[in-house]
Amino acid sequence: MKPPRCCRSRTPSRTAGPVAAALLLGRGALGASSGPCECLNWRRSYEAGVIKCGEGLELYFASNRTNLSKWELWDVSSLFHETCYSLYQRIDHSGCLNIRRGASPDAGWDAGLWCYVRGECRSLGGGHAVVSRGLLWSAPRGVSWKVCRPGEDASLRGLGPAALLARARAWAAGVAPGQPPLDLSGLARQAWLSLRPQLWWHVEGAWLAGNHTALPPALRATLASGEGMVLDVAEHRRGDAVVLFGAQTWQLRHDPGACPDTTFCLSCLGGGCPEEPLRPEPEAPAGARPPPPPTPGAGEL
C-alpha cells in the first residue's frame, strides 16, 4: 500500500537527498554559504528535495517526536497539509522558528528555536542529523537540525506584526492555482511565543487600562525584550487571537474572504499603528534558486 500523495518522497531515489544536499549546499544555493552552522532557507531546501517537511521538528507540536518516517507522516497527513504546504514550505527565509508551535515562555526547551543546517555543523545544541526513513530502509539526508542560539542566530521572533505581515504577503504571492493559501495564524505561532494557558480576556482589562504592572510577568518580559506575544481569544476559535507588540495591539482574525492569500487577517487596533505594513527586506540570495526535483515514479515512496 502506498502512502498518500502528501507523504511521498519528492526525491527520485533514496540517495537523491544526500546527493542534492552535497551539490546545492556546496554552491551555497540554500542560504548557508557563510558557514556550516548557518541556518538554511526553509522554502529552497524543501523545493530542492534536500529535506522533507516532517523529518525535523515541523510536526513536533502534534507528535512530540522528531524525524518522522514516511509511514508516520501518513498517520498525520491532515496536519502535514496544514503545517507543510500552508506554512513551512512557503517561508522564503532562513530565520529560526519556534520548536513547538504556540509554546509559552515558561515551556523550557519547547520555547526554543530551531532550523536546518549543513551536515558538517557540530554545534547542534541538542539537535541531530536528519535521516530519511521508510518502512524497511533509512538514508542520511546530509543535513541536520539544530537548536538556535539566542542573540546569535537570526529568527522571526523579533519581527513586529507589520513586518511579519509584509513578509507573509510576499511569500503568499505567486502561489500556483490550486495550492492552499499561506496560514498566517500558524506563522504567527511559529514566530512568536504564546501566553498559555491565559487567554486575551484574562489580561484585556489591565492592558487597555495601561496597568502593565498587573500583567503576567512572562508577558511583561517578552514585550520588554522587543518580541511579540500571541494571546488566543478563546479556546477552539479557529486561531483567532490578539498579538501584543510593544504598545501595539493587533487582531488576528480568520477571514479567508477578506484575506484569501493568508486565510487570516492581521490588523492593528491601537498603540501607534503603522499607516502601511512595512515592505520586507529580501534575504540576500546565496545563489540561484534550484528547480524543483523530478516527480517520483508511480511505484516510488
Residue 135's nearest CA partner among 7, 37, 28, 19 is 7
Report residue 113 as a C-alpha cell.
528555536
What distance in Å separates the CA atoms of residue 212 and residue 209, rounded to the nearest whole number?
8
Q: Is the pLDDT of residue 124 over 80?
A: yes
Q: Per-residue pLDDT averaged across 23-40, rounded?
A: 67
Residue 128's nearest CA partner among 60, 136, 119, 137 is 119
Residue finishing a domain among 128, 155, 182? 155
Looking at residue 184, its pLDDT comes to 95
Query: In terms of domains, do 52 and 164 share one?
Result: no
Q: Do the domain assignments include residue 241? A: yes
Q: Within the chain, where are the H helices?
A: 16-26, 42-47, 60-63, 70-75, 77-80, 161-172, 184-191, 200-208, 217-224
Query: In terms of domains, do 138 and 94 share one?
Result: yes
Q: Per-residue pLDDT averaged across 87-91, rounded?
A: 94
Q: Where are the beta strands (DSSP E) in the chain?
A: 97-98, 113-118, 128-133, 138-147, 193-194, 229-232, 241-245, 248-254, 264-270
155 forms beta bridges with: 96
**Long-range interactions of 207-212: CB distance < 8 A, separation 24+:** 207/244, 207/249
Q: Per-residue pLDDT averaged across 172-191, rounded?
A: 87
Query: In terms of domains, do 168 and 113 share one?
Result: no
Looking at residue 179, its pLDDT comes to 82
Query: In terms of domains, do 95 and 186 share one?
Result: no
> Distance of CA 278 to CAs 63, 275, 282, 283, Å?
35, 9, 12, 15
Question: Could you give phi then psi for residue 11, rounded to 5 degrees?
Answer: -100, 145
Domain count, the chain: 2
Q: Do the domain assignments include residue 299? A: no
Which residue did the predictor score with more confidence, 197 or 250? 250
Q: Per-residue pLDDT averaged across 138-147, rounded?
A: 85
Contacts of residue 279, Cβ cutoff 8 Å, sequence gap at least 6: 166
Report the mean per-residue pLDDT for the chain. Answer: 80
Q: Per-residue pLDDT averaged across 114-131, rounded?
A: 92
Query: In terms of domains, do 94 and 143 share one?
Result: yes
Q: Do the domain assignments include residue 223? A: yes
Query: In terms of domains, do 168 and 141 share one?
Result: no
pLDDT in tens, 275-299: 654 444 445 444 434 334 333 333 3
pLDDT in tens, 218-271: 999 999 999 999 999 987 656 899 999 999 999 999 999 999 999 999 999 998
The pLDDT confidence band at residue 90, using thresholds 50, 70 and 90, is very high
Looking at residue 294, its pLDDT comes to 36
Contacts of residue 49, Cβ cutoff 8 Å, sequence gap at least 6: 10, 11, 16, 17, 20, 292, 293
Q: Can you tell me whether residue 236 is helix, strand or coil?
A: coil
Local structure of residue 85 (DSSP, 8 states)? I
Looking at residue 136, its pLDDT comes to 60
- Please state, for a pLDDT cut of 70, what percent of the chain lies above it: 73
**Of the ranges 62-71, 74-83, 177-186, 252-261, the best mean pLDDT one:** 252-261
Contacts of residue 175, Cβ cutoff 8 Å, sequence gap at least 6: 90, 181, 182, 261
Query: In terms of domains, do 136 and 171 share one?
Result: no
Query: In terms of domains, do 208 and 222 share one?
Result: yes
* Residues spanned by the domain of 235: 157-280
Question: Could you give phi then psi for residue 125, rounded to 5 degrees?
Answer: 60, 30
Q: Do the domain assignments include residue 67? A: yes
